């Protein structure tokens, strides 16, 4: 039974990811006075891509073809770890939050290698920038998450959420710092404005798009879906770690459906904020990104220090 | 019995050295003996780790009143195991790798003689139970490896590198002797048992600790006394660099652990802080310098500095917990450090052997001259990829497990009372996270530029797969071990439990779980990791994905030339190079490096805007070379010049000196 719910949750995660992306697009379009495409558009795009014949460069190696599968698999594994509608899933025990960061690193490693595989300037450029940004973002993310896990003295996400639920809605100064740090990191890692622009195809500014430029057909579909899933993963991580109220602590139909409604509301609020931020903020120059991520790191560090100095009981 | 196996391993490596001297035509025998020595070392190591009784012996060698004391305990056995695996792998790899040396009997004899002595020296260091024998074995290891570094001495740069290595090895040895001397002056003698019982004051103990840290740190390659490493590793033959980087650095760590955790009567948290800071600085600067290198072996050498830094950092954590009476957490820290040492030995060995394979087939170690090898050397590329993934600490591989354990140790900081420590340790944990992320970036560069893309030179284009089974089998075996211990880390962690029991007299927390399925260092409720479950889910998910997308109706991919934007043929020179790949990080961390970047433009005649030719040069130097090593070198030279004044070259003056010394001594004696 538990396993069935865990698998259901993972499938839900994967299935809802394109919807989140299209809702985000809807918010952005409305904010920019444009008509939004249908909510089903990302699904149609994915379906179209899987039917198309992939074109592979003659310089590509087996790694190029395998990478999309690895990236998507790693995102699915990450989805099994993050509690979506219920905590204490049997799958979430197999990995804690450090392993979660490891899954993201695994996917990124192969994405960057795939970018280098064809031997074009664009791919190398994207890989180089992606690895630079992520190597600065990863420690900032761990700092933010460590603040929570140290409060809960537990690096398991379910355990940390339990701890916060039991404590009630008390205000931890450290959580505020950690929340902002994690939001900044999430924006950078999912390739949103102001760090990267998912809609750009301008050589000098693109990062994620530059790496996947040579992909087509089902390979591209997997990569697109994986990046939508990554956005959803970060969104759910922020929503459920900092505002866990509503999440199901028992596996009853009532609790689960209530959790689903709560989750949808949380994600709506989060994506409205993200769309608003993307509309009013301009994209940064590449060499200002380290200041941005340095700031995120600093926030994470401040969160941890304020936990140690202000909040710990000793 | 176990001790006999250990002796056997040493004797066999000495026998291999002697056999090489005979210069017979049966060169395979040399490697056979070496392989047997490795196998015996593995057997001895595992046997002792399972058995856990301390074995002592007294060899009638050395000085008449100071015969060699032998002691084989869990810690020695664990490092014996590391040496054994490395030597075993090298013995398969070396026959073909040193093939061109075998045609020249003299140089082959030299290489094999010192390889055997070097390995025997390392093993003897681990067996030593008194300071005398320890130092003799240590010197055997250092001096033998000097001849290995200087092996290709026709090249003057190699001679300089070898001399630098010898110099730093000897200065380090001097410091270690002093450290032993300080402790021994409070004890009854030089055996380790007597040193353990010494009545030493805290101040002198701290002095001994600093001396030992500098002495062992010089060998292990801690920043800023690491400068010999990136010079010496690239010039030695690849299987020797593999042994030096994978194993010899670990022997230096063994010395540090033995001295600090075992011989000194107590530890202080301040020392732990020193180790933590030195380790963090080494780890971060090591990986940043590694990233900037173009020579593959130099890059790997700097990456060793990084990994040694990580290990020392975790040792510092362990020491801090030990001094604060949290013995079970100290045990966790030591476990993480030792496991990382083991993992580093596996994947660094693998990567150095891989570098040798690339060099063997392309005669090229410059990353910017390679590319596209994944199609030309498919087997090598898979093996090398596993090494890169392990060292980048990706889940499912062994490097990840030890970094995970290290982070778990750091996260237990909440139990400490001291405010400074409580804020310092999280910062170092974040630095560890940054190091791991940078390592991933660095090895994406290594694998991506060497194996992927289009060949950047004719050598790379003409490269062929290695056709020798032994040369492929050795790194393949190491790659298999990297994966195996990534999925079943509990195999090694169980063996290590006895070591921490013995050294710290403490085991992991009662609630910790170490089974083949689950890994939970503190308790199942706090953090758990199950590589096996993850592997199974990866396989199932990937299978479902594959079936879904490749079922009936799936179109076959079309192979086409790369899209060139309509501008005409793409050239390999359009690809990103090593310096281009790391340019963003070079700019972000500009203060860490001494960068000398030049762009020279030549204009076409009589024009100011029409560029005919552009030259770009980039030279990156290590801060510690310019700000630590060179000032010391200049100082020593200046002093030597002053002292040199008394050297007149006139024999009467020297006789006068002798007479003066004699009179002085007679006067001192008569006092």
- The residue behind tokens 């300089």 is B160
Q: Which residues of B touch A77 (CB under 8 A)?
A: 534, 537-538, 541
| Integer angstrom CA distances of residue B227 from A45, B224, B235, B593, B624 | 55, 7, 14, 14, 7
- pLDDT for the residue B522: 79
**Chain B residues near residue A51 by CB distance under 8 angstroms:** 555
Does the beta-carbon distance from A119 to B530 stay under 8 Å? no
Q: Are B112 and B86 in contact (CB under 8 A)?
A: no
- Given this model, what pLDDT does residue A248 score? 87
Query: Reduced to 3 states, what is the DSSP secondary structure of residue B58?
Result: strand
Domain range summary for chain B, segments of one domain joined by +:
1-196+224-264, 625-670
pLDDT at B655: 93
Regions in chain A scoring below 70 on pLDDT: 203, 312-314
Tokens (6 digits) for A217? 């057909």
State the DSSP H helix or E strand holding residue B308, giving kind and residue range, or none if neither.
Answer: helix B296-323
- State the Cα–Cα distance between residues B436 and B439, nearest whole angstrom: 5
CA distance A122 to chain B (A): 8
C-alpha distances in angstroms, B454 versus A214, B405, B537, B635?
15, 39, 35, 49
- The position carrying tokens 């990580």 is B310
Q: Per the CB < 8 Å rule, is B449 touching A222?
A: no
The whole-number mean pLDDT for each consecutive block of 10 residues of chain B, a chain of 671 residues, reads: 90 90 80 93 92 86 82 92 95 87 80 93 93 93 93 87 92 95 90 89 93 94 89 90 92 94 89 95 94 93 95 95 91 93 95 94 91 92 96 93 92 84 87 93 95 92 89 94 93 87 80 80 81 92 89 82 82 89 90 85 80 86 87 92 86 92 93 80
Phi, psi of A59 (to 5 degrees): -90, -5
Local structure of A67: helix, strand or coil: helix
Query: How much is the pLDDT for A221?
Result: 94
Chain B residues in contact with A296 (beta carbon < 8 A): none
Query: Does B541 contact A73 at a Cβ distance shorter than 8 Å?
Result: yes
Helix (H) or strand (E) holding B29: helix B28-51
* Integer angstrom CA distances of residue B637 from B164, B624, B631: 15, 18, 10
Q: Show the tokens assigned to B22.
A: 């005979």
Closest by Cβ to A53, choosing from B389, B453, B558 = B558
Which H, E and C letters describe B230-244, residue by residue? HHHHHHCCHHHHHHH
ipTM of the shown complex: 0.95
Give the pLDDT confidence score for residue A313 in this predicted structure: 60
The CB density around residue B159, as the number of other CB atoms within 10 Å, is 15
CA dihedral defined by B664, B668, B670, B671, rounded to 10 degrees?
Answer: 140
Chain A residue with CA closest to B434: the answer is A139
SS3 A291: helix
Q: Which neighbouring-strand residues pair with A86?
A: A248
Contact B429 A93 (CB under 8 A): no
Q: Which of A72, A127, A132 sits opposite B448 (nearest CB)?
A: A127
What pLDDT score was predicted for residue B600? 86
Helix (H, G, I), strand (E, B) or coil at A81: helix
Chain B residue at shortest CA distance from A99:
B395
Q: A50: how many CB neighbours lie within 10 A of its CB?
A: 20
Q: Name the β-bridge partners of B614.
A: B601
B507 touching A (Cβ < 8 Å): no
* CB distance B423 to A308 below 8 Å: yes
Q: Which residue of B has its CA nearest to A76?
A: B541
Residue B44 touches partner A, C-beta closer than 8 Å: no
- Taking an 8 Å cut-off on Cβ atoms, the answer to whether B561 and A214 are in contact is no
Q: Is B294 helix (H, G, I), strand (E, B) or coil?
A: coil
**pLDDT confidence of residue B266:** 86
Taking an 8 Å cut-off on Cβ atoms, the answer to whether A156 and B526 are in contact is yes
> What pLDDT, on a 0 to 100 scale, did the predictor assign at position B135?
93
* DSSP code for B521: S
pTM listed for this prediction: 0.94
């Amino acid at each position: 039974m538990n396993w069935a719910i865990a698998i259901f949750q993972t499938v839900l995660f994967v299935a809802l990811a394109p919807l989140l992306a299209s809702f985000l697009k809807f918010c952005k379009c409305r904010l920019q006075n444009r008509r939004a495409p249908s909510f089903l558009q990302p699904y149609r795009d994915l379906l179209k891509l899987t039917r198309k014949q992939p074109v592979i460069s003659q310089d590509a190696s087996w790694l190029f073809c395998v990478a999309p599968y690895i990236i998507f698999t790693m995102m699915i594994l990450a989805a099994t770890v993050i509690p979506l509608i219920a905590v204490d899933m049997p799958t979430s025990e197999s990995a804690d939050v450090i392993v979660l960061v490891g899954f993201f690193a695994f996917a990124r490693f192969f994405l960057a290698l795939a970018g280098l595989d064809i031997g074009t300037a664009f791919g190398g450029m994207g890989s180089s920038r992606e690895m630079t940004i992520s190597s600065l973002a990863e420690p900032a993310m761990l700092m933010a998450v460590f603040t929570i896990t140290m409060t809960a003295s537990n690096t398991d996400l379910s355990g940390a959420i339990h701890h916060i639920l039991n404590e009630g809605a008390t205000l931890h100064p450290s959580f505020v710092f950690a929340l902002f740090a994690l939001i900044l990191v999430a924006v950078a890692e999912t390739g949103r404005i102001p760090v990267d622009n998912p809609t750009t195809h301008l050589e000098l500014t693109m990062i994620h798009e530059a790496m996947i430029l040579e992909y087509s057909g089902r390979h591209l579909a997997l990569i697109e879906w994986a990046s939508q899933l990554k956005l959803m993963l970060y969104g759910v991580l922020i929503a459920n770690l900092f505002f866990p109220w509503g999440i199901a602590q028992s596996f009853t139909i009532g609790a689960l459906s209530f959790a689903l409604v709560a989750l949808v509301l949380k994600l709506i609020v989060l994506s409205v904020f993200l769309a608003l931020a993307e509309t009013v903020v301009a994209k940064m120059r590449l060499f200002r990104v380290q200041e941005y991520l340095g700031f995120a790191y600093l926030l994470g560090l401040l969160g941890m220090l304020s936990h140690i100095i202000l909040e710990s009981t000793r | 019995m176990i001790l006999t196996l250990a002796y056997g391993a040493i004797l066999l490596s000495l026998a291999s050295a002697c056999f090489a001297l005979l210069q017979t035509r049966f060169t395979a025998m040399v490697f056979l003996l070496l392989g047997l020595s490795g196998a015996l070392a593995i057997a001895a190591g595992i046997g002792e780790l399972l058995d856990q009784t301390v074995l002592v012996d007294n060899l009638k060698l050395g000085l008449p009143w100071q015969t060699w004391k032998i002691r084989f305990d869990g810690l020695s056995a664990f490092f014996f195991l590391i040496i054994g695996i490395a030597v075993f792998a090298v013995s398969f790899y070396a026959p073909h790798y040193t093939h061109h040396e075998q045609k020249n009997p003299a140089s082959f004899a030299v290489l094999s003689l010192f390889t055997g002595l070097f390995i025997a020296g390392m093993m003897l260091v681990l067996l030593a139970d008194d300071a005398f024998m320890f130092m003799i074995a240590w010197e055997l290891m250092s001096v033998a490896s000097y001849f290995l570094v200087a092996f290709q001495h026709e090249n003057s740069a190699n001679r300089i590198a070898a001399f630098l290595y010898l110099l730093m090895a000897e200065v380090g040895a001097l410091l270690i002797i002093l450290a032993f001397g300080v402790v021994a002056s409070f004890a009854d003698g030089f055996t380790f048992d007597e040193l353990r019982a010494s009545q030493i004051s805290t101040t002198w103990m701290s002095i001994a600790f600093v001396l030992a840290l500098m002495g062992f740190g010089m060998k292990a390659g801690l920043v800023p006394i690491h400068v010999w490493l990136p010079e010496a590793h690239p010039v030695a033959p690849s299987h020797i660099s593999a042994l030096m980087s994978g194993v010899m650095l670990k022997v230096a760590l063994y010395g540090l652990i033995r001295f600090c955790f075992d011989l000194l009567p107590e530890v202080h948290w301040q020392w732990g802080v020193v180790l933590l800071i030195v380790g963090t600085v080494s780890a971060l600067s090591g990986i940043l310098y590694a990233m900037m290198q173009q020579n593959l072996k130099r890059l790997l050498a700097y990456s060793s500095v990084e990994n040694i830094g990580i290990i020392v950092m975790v040792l510092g954590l362990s020491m801090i917990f030990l001094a604060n009476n949290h013995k079970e957490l100290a045990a966790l820290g030591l476990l993480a450090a030792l496991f990382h040492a083991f993992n580093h030995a596996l994947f660094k060995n693998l990567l150095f052997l891989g570098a040798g394979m690339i060099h063997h087939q392309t005669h090229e170690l410059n990353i910017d001259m390679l590319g596209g090898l994944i199609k030309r050397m498919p087997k090598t590329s898979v093996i090398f990829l596993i090494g890169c993934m392990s060292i980048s600490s990706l889940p499912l591989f062994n490097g990840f497990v030890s970094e995970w354990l290290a982070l778990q140790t750091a996260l237990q900081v909440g139990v400490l009372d001291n405010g400074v420590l409580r804020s310092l340790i999280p910062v170092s944990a974040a630095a560890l996270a940054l190091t791991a992320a940078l390592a991933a970036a660095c090895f994406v560069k290594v694998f991506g530029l060497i194996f992927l893309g289009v060949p950047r030179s004719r050598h790379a284009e003409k490269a062929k797969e290695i056709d020798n089974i032994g040369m492929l089998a050795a790194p393949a075996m190491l790659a298999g071990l990297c994966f195996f211990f990534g999925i079943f880390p509990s195999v090694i962690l169980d063996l290590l439990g006895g070591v921490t029991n013995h050294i710290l007299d403490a085991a992991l927390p009662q609630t910790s779980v170490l089974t083949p399925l689950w890994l939970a260092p503190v308790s199942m409720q706090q953090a758990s990791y199950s590589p096996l479950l993850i592997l199974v889910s990866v396989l199932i998910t990937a299978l479902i994905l594959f079936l879904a997308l490749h079922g009936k109706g799936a179109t076959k991919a079309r192979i086409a030339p790369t899209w060139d934007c309509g501008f005409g043929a793409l050239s390999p020179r359009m690809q990103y190079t090593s310096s281009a790949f790391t340019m963003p990080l070079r700019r972000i961390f500009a203060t860490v490096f001494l960068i000398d970047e030049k762009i020279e433009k030549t204009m076409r005649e009589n024009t100011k805007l029409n560029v005919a030719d552009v030259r770009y040069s980039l030279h990156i130097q290590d801060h510690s070379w310019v700000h630590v090593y060179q000032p010391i070198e200049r100082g020593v030279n200046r002093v030597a010049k002053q002292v040199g004044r008394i050297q007149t070259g006139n024999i009467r003056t020297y006789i006068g000196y002798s007479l003066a010394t004699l009179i002085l001594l007679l006067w001192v004696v008569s006092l």
